[in-house]
């Protein structure tokens, strides 16, 4: 297989399934796919055994996810994909260490999400972030948002707790999205904290957005941004490969 990329998933599995759905549906729209061969070539590694990222980030006596992720990157690098995507925001805490293991680029999900804000809300100033406790703790989005010139708005303690409930108790625990709870969280960020746009900084929140959209709040979904970037890169590589072999 030529011109493929590798998805390091399984963090969690339902979120990865949502990412694949977003990736394939948006590919179909971009290339007007009408046959199997119009879609993208990729390998999915659904490594559900990776220890919980938030657990480790807030308490480093817990099992370290870097060990499993490093093995995945090393093993997949032998197959020579064009690039890696990792549809788990919290796992990007380890991005620098993982990138040091391979010459193959790993797409920076938080960076690409923040870069895409202007496409969603061109005049945004106040950017809200809802995510796991681990992502809020390690500040992987904070730096990107502030460096891009936005004012970062973080959830209060109650909203942070509600977000963790939605992510862990509902989506991860029950494969269930509490729509009213999700909308309540967004309402707090937009109506009370006056965010111009809210970053969905956890892939389980992407599941919530897929199943409980129609709320009308301005959000930017990191999984959708990652899927769009993967499509862009994959199609560019496909075009370059085709041109090279036709010349």
> Rounded to an integer, what distance in angstroms lies between the CA atom of residue 92 and that of residue 226?
13
The answer to whether residues 227 and 24 touch, using CB atoms and an 8 Å cutoff, is no
Q: What is the DSSP letter of 102?
A: -
The answer to whether residues 7 and 44 touch, using CB atoms and an 8 Å cutoff, is yes
Close Cβ partners of 144 (under 8 Å, ≥ 6 residues apart):
110, 111, 113, 114
Active-site residue set: 88, 202
Nearest Cα to Cα of residue 134 among 183, 167, 100: 167
The answer to whether residues 117 and 150 touch, using CB atoms and an 8 Å cutoff, is yes
> For every residue of 12-75, which 3-state class applies, written as one string?
CHHHHHHHHHHHHHHHHHHHCCCCHHHCCEEEEEECCCCCCHHHHHHCCCCCCHHHHHHHHHHH
Across 39-196, where does the E strand assignment appear? 41-46, 84-85, 126-130, 151-153
- Of how many residues is the chain composed? 247
Side-chain half-sphere exposure of 88, counting CA atoms within 13 A = 28
């Amino acid at each position: 297989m030529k011109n493929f990329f590798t998805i390091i998933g399984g963090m969690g599995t339902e979120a990865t399934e949502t990412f694949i759905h977003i990736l394939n549906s948006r590919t179909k729209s971009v290339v007007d796919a009408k046959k199997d061969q119009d879609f993208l070539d990729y390998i999915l590694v659904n490594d559900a055994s990776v220890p919980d990222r938030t657990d480790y980030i807030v308490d480093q006596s817990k099992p370290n996810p870097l060990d499993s992720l490093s093995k995945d990157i090393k093993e997949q690098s032998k197959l020579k994909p064009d690039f890696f995507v990792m549809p788990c925001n919290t796992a990007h805490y380890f991005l620098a260490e993982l990138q040091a293991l391979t010459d193959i680029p790993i797409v920076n999900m938080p960076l690409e999400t923040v870069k895409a804000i202007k496409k969603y809300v061109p005049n945004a100033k106040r950017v809200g972030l809802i995510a796991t406790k681990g992502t809020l703790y390690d500040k992987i989005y904070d730096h990107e948002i502030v460096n891009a010139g936005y004012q970062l708005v973080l959830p209060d303690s109650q909203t942070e707790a509600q977000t963790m409930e939605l992510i862990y108790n509902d989506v991860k625990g029950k494969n269930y999205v509490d729509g009213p709870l999700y909308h309540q969280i967004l309402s707090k960020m937009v109506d009370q904290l006056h965010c111009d746009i809210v970053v969905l900084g956890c892939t389980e929140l992407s599941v919530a957005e897929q199943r409980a959209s129609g709320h009308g709040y301005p959000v930017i979904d990191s999984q959708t941004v990652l899927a769009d970037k993967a499509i862009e890169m994959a199609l560019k590589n496909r075009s370059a490969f085709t041109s090279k072999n036709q010349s």
